[in-house]
Structure 1
Amino acid sequence: MNTKKKLLIAAPVLLLAGLVVWAFMPSPQLVEVAQARQGRFERAVQEDGKTRLRDRYVVSMPLAGRVQRLTLRQGDSVKREAIIATVLPANPSLLDERTRLEQRERIGSVEASVARAQANIERANAALAKAVADTRRTESLAQQGFVSPTQVESERLNQRLREKELEAARREADAMRHELAQVRIALQPSRGATGAMTSAPWLVRAPVDGKVLKVVQQSEGVLPAGTPLVELGDPAALEVVVDVLTEDAAQLRPGLPVRLHGWGGPELAGVVRLVEPAAFTKVSALGVEEQRVYAVIDITSPQPQWATLGDGFRVEVSIVVQSLDRALLVPVSALFPQGDRVALFVLQDGRAHLRTVQLLARNGQDAALAEGSGLSADAQVVIYPPPGLKDGARVAPRQ
């Protein structure tokens, strides 16, 4: 048999053998892939919160008597020392011996509140002085290139917070002094030479500038001492309070940036002012008992942006506890444990290559990887890797 005939016989045999080998070769495993990227990473604690007034003042009856019908309505603006209500003596026994003793004791209690408010002012003054000094020092270091602009902005923000605390302390002290004056005036009719009651009305005045939040007692009537009449407050002095799980609260600290959204307006910026030290028990919607802590947030966006935000509004809160400006990001669904390390599969040349990486942080969507993980910003990684996927296995992206 000559060479030509041998080739004619061998060619179909080789072709058939190739077809058989190709038919029995395993097909590439279809996998879902995503692309790694370079970007900003944030890890946040997310909860629902609500707004509340920073300072709420309840104007109450200084002494038992007949209050005339109030003309104020909810939403009315009032100035400090404006007349809120007029109280008339109810009967000659209005200031008996027992009532006078109660009023004197109340004077002592309010005087203690005034002293406490004054101490708060001194403490706020000291905190503001320290914040101003820290800001100046940080700005000086920034000019020399020793600190970053972010740290300078943080110090300036801290100074603004201390200024707000001082303003709130002064308003509280004014309110306490006003209440003390009201109590002393209420006791004056019992100090006549003959002990006789006077019929002069008592004018209940507003302790601060603000708006009427609630009219508790609208109609005329005889009321005991301490009965609330109206609630006053400044709608422009809003804060946000949110309760977070104790394990999340352990990561919070004053000064952390906050995003406020889901309230019906634009996204607002805020900052954590206070994390309360004591927790409380709350039953979740699933009936599970949870330990939670209140965090108080100041709104730092310009007031015109949230002028329509009122007291008691629901707000979605995102407290940023960790941020990285330029990080290598991959979906968290691409990671899986590999011994005591974290690994993922990289799609390259039609095969899945196993890579161990160093995890810096993760949130609900992305994971930030350390430099030197062997990944480029445009690498394709396998997400939701099948359990049987091996290193070097042939794979193809699922369409």
Structure 2
Amino acid sequence: MSDQDGRGGRELPGWARTALLVLLGVVVLGGLILAFRPSPVPVDAGEVTRGPLQVDVREDGRTQLRDRYTIAAPMAGTLERVRWRPGDEVEAGEELLGLIPLPAPLLDDRSRAQARAALEGARAGLEQARAREEAMEGAVVEAREALRRQRILLDESGGSVSAVEQAEAGLRSREAELRSARFAVQAAEQEVENARLLLERGTGNSGAERIGVRSPVSGRVLRVMQESEAAVQPGSPVLEVGDVTNLEVVADLLSADAVQVRPGHRAEIDRWGGEDVLPARVRVVEPAAFTRVSALGIEEQRVNVRLDLDPGTTLPPELGDGYRVEARIIIWEEDDVLRVPASAVFRDGDRWFAFRILDGRARRVEVEVGRRSDADAQVLSGLDVGDQVVLYPGERIEDGIRVEARR
């Protein structure tokens, strides 16, 4: 028998043994590569979509009466105990307080002349208030006509929605000024009555010593500064009254935010203590700023922005004067824009970038960004609908690195 038969089989050719060794080496090398290959970085992913976008300014504010009246003692004397309490409802002309004047000698010629001049001044103030009321009535008529014209232009495709909104805001402002002018007339009438009583008392024509001071407007008692019976001097404040249904909202914005706000901008009043969001409009942006020190001790330039609730809005009865609210003023909005989550874009120098997820890798792309809100940013170029992007990219995210979206 041959040696080959004694070994029980044939040996592999040399080339086969070499091929097996190469194959084994490839398998081992591949295993090592897989073992030491970096695993994908887990990331939060977002999607580029189309939809509405709103850019707003948020700031704490407070409610405030458009008109408040301080009822004061018209002359020196003894104030009777005030029976009114904060929250009580009063009608225009209803007596609010009683005053027993101090005994005083008749007015001399000079004092009598001053009292007559004060009465004539009060009457002139009343005429001025009535003239302003007439002017405001005319302004309301003009504002209504301007709104009617803008609506006709809009229906005929020759106008714009923003022009109609500005006309509506102008009408609301004129109507509010008319209400204020009417309150001013009532207050001026009360001033005339007080001046007349003072003159009659000094000339001996007063029929009764006790003087009753009446409410110039219908509303509610806001504060009572002097409740007990006491001696008072002329002009001493006793209580405040006002119409609590005629509220406005005052929000003090940073001056950098206030320059973006315009009268007529839509707004929402929230976090006042109830569940409903109250619609409002910007009435005026005050032209003068003031300095306020923040909680961190930083001086800030602030501007008061005044807002009116939309007509037809039911004012919650729980909401009163000086209550804290949050105002959200919408300075820009569009119904259909290409948008990306704001956390996906970042600035590098003067340009904006984002990491687009493509074939399991993060690819850095330049993005042209338009308007931005807290949640989303408008995309003008660089990304398309449906693109997946990395949210909150950190230091580990680089161009070309393997990433895996968290579930």
TM-score (ref. length: structure 1) = 0.88
Quote the offset at 1:170 in angstroms: 1.6
CA contact (8 A) 1:89 1:199 kept: no
Q: Could you tell me which residue of structure 1 aligns to residue 72 of structure 2? A: 60
Residue identity matched to 1:249? A
Quote the offset at 1:91 in angstroms: 1.0
Quote the offset at 1:279 in angstroms: 1.7
Residue number among 164, 170, 180 corresponding to 1:152 in the alignment: 164
CA contact (8 A) 2:105 2:202 kept: no
Match of 2:105, SS state, is: helix
Whether 2:377 is the aligned partner of 1:375: answer: no
Which runs of 5 or more residues in structure 2 are unaligned? 1-12
Residue identity matched to 1:323? E
CA distance in 1, matches of 2:357, 2:253: 40
Q: Could you tell me which residue of structure 2 aligns to residue 217 of structure 1? A: 226
Which runs of 5 or more residues in structure 1 are unaligned? none
TM-score (ref. length: structure 2) = 0.86
Q: Could you tell me which residue of structure 1 aligns to residue 9 of structure 2? A: none
**1:231-310 → structure 2 map (5 Å cutoff):** 231-265=240-274, 266-300=276-310, 302-310=312-320
Task: Tell me whether 342-351 or 148-157 shows the greater mean CA deviation.
Answer: 148-157
Residue identity matched to 1:281? T
Deviation per CA, 1:243-287: give whole Å up to 9, x if none: 222212222221111211111112111111122222222111112
Quote the offset at 1:55 in angstroms: 0.9
**1:1-399 → structure 2 map (5 Å cutoff):** 1=13, 5=17, 7-93=19-105, 95=107, 100=112, 103-104=115-116, 106-107=118-119, 110-111=122-123, 113-149=125-161, 151-192=163-204, 199-265=208-274, 266-300=276-310, 302-370=312-380, 372-376=381-385, 378-387=386-395, 389-399=397-407
Match of 1:159, SS state, is: helix
Task: Tell me whether 347-356 or 387-396 shows the greater mean CA deviation.
Answer: 387-396
Quote the offset at 1:350 in angstroms: 0.8
Quote the offset at 1:379 in angstroms: 2.2
Distance change in 2, residues 1:350/1:322 (3 Å): same
Distance change in 2, residues 1:89/1:386 (3 Å): closer
CA distance in 2, matches of 1:118, 1:332: 55
Residue identity matched to 1:41? L
Quote the offset at 1:18 in angstroms: 3.0
CA contact (8 A) 1:66 1:87 kept: yes
CA contact (8 A) 2:92 2:218 kept: yes
CA contact (8 A) 1:92 1:197 kept: no
Distance change in 2, residues 1:111/1:296 (3 Å): farther
Distance change in 2, residues 1:146/1:249 (3 Å): same
Q: How many residue pairs get matched?
A: 394
CA contact (8 A) 1:53 1:237 kept: yes
CA distance in 2, matches of 1:241, 1:100: 44
RMSD, matched Cα: 2.7
CA distance in 2, matches of 1:13, 1:218: 101
Quote the offset at 1:78 in angstroms: 1.9
Quote the offset at 1:206 in angstroms: 1.6
Residue identity matched to 1:379? D
Task: Tell me whether 241-250 or 212-221 shows the greater mean CA deviation.
Answer: 212-221
